[in-house]
Amino acid sequence: MKMSPAIQDLIDALRHLPGVGPKSAQRMTLHLLERDREAAESLGEALLAALSRVQQCQRCRNFTELTICEICGDPKRDDSLLCVVETPADVLAIEHTGSYRGLYFVLMGHLSPLDGIGPKELGLDSLEVLLEQETISEVILATNPTVEGEATGHYIAEMANRNKILVSRIAHGVPLGGELEYIDATTLAHALGGRKVVSPE
């Protein structure tokens, strides 16, 4: 016996969510249809609204509904500091510490040649323009302490070096192999405060 096509389509669509297998997708579908049609409608509309409204900031690449995001556009932020992170979740995690007042650049990933993710896919051409044109005095590398994150950080450090900009790296304290988005705020604040200059030495 098959589910009705509209139900099966919904189960299949829910399986694209990370961490959702066939059993959970079926449970979610029946839950929404049986007990929470209002939530299903809100979710459907929220998805389509987010897709049509959310773009990337033209300066930092973070998600925003504006051309230039709220952080980049905030005159109270210190625009001499640029923190480079892999994902929007990392920006949130750092903002959550309340201990950073500079700007960001969001790579939306890390260098991964085997997956076809090179400098261009990470917007490193726009980053180079930022480094050349803005008055950035320090680039803070906050890529993940993984092989790919380190390689990406190294690449960006060289770009900053060419522009004679100080490069620092958030302190170890973030466990090796850990992902920023899952680190508690205190550890992350500590890591930021203890950042070390990596070049020029």
83 scored as a contact of Zn ion (CB under 5 A): no
**Cα 196 from Cα 194, distance rounded (Å):** 6
153 scored as a contact of its own copies (CB under 8 A): no
Span interacting with its own copies, options 69-77, 126-134, 149-157, 187-195, rule CB under 8 A: 69-77
Q: Which of 14, 60, 156, 174 binds Zn ion (CB under 5 A)?
A: 60
Q: Which of 48, 129, 147, 197 binds its own copies (CB under 8 A)?
A: 48
User: Which letter, b or e, does each residue of 135-153 get, where b requires 16 or more Cβ atoms within 10 Å of its Cβ?
Assistant: ebebbbbbbbbeebbbebb
**Cα 65 from Cα 72, distance rounded (Å):** 13
Is the peptide bond prior to 200 cis by the omega test (within 30 degrees of 0)? yes
68 scored as a contact of its own copies (CB under 8 A): no
Instruction: From residue 72, give the alpha-carbon distance in Å to each of 75, 93, 186.
Output: 8, 17, 25
Residue 201: Cβ within 10 Å count: 4
84 scored as a contact of Zn ion (CB under 5 A): no
Name which of its own copies, Zn ion, none residue 59 binds, using a CB cut-off of 5 to 8 Å depending on partner kind: Zn ion
Assess contact for 168 and 195: CB atoms under 8 A.
yes
| CA 58 from centroid of its chain's CA atoms | 15
72 scored as a contact of Zn ion (CB under 5 A): yes
89 scored as a contact of its own copies (CB under 8 A): yes
Q: Which of 79, 80, 99, 108 binds its own copies (CB under 8 A)?
A: 108
Residues forming contacts to Zn ion in the complex (CB under 5 A) are 57, 59-60, 69, 72
Residues forming contacts to its own copies in the complex (CB under 8 A) are 1, 3-7, 9-10, 12-14, 16-19, 24, 26-34, 36-37, 39-51, 53-54, 63-66, 69-71, 87-89, 91-92, 95-96, 108-109, 181
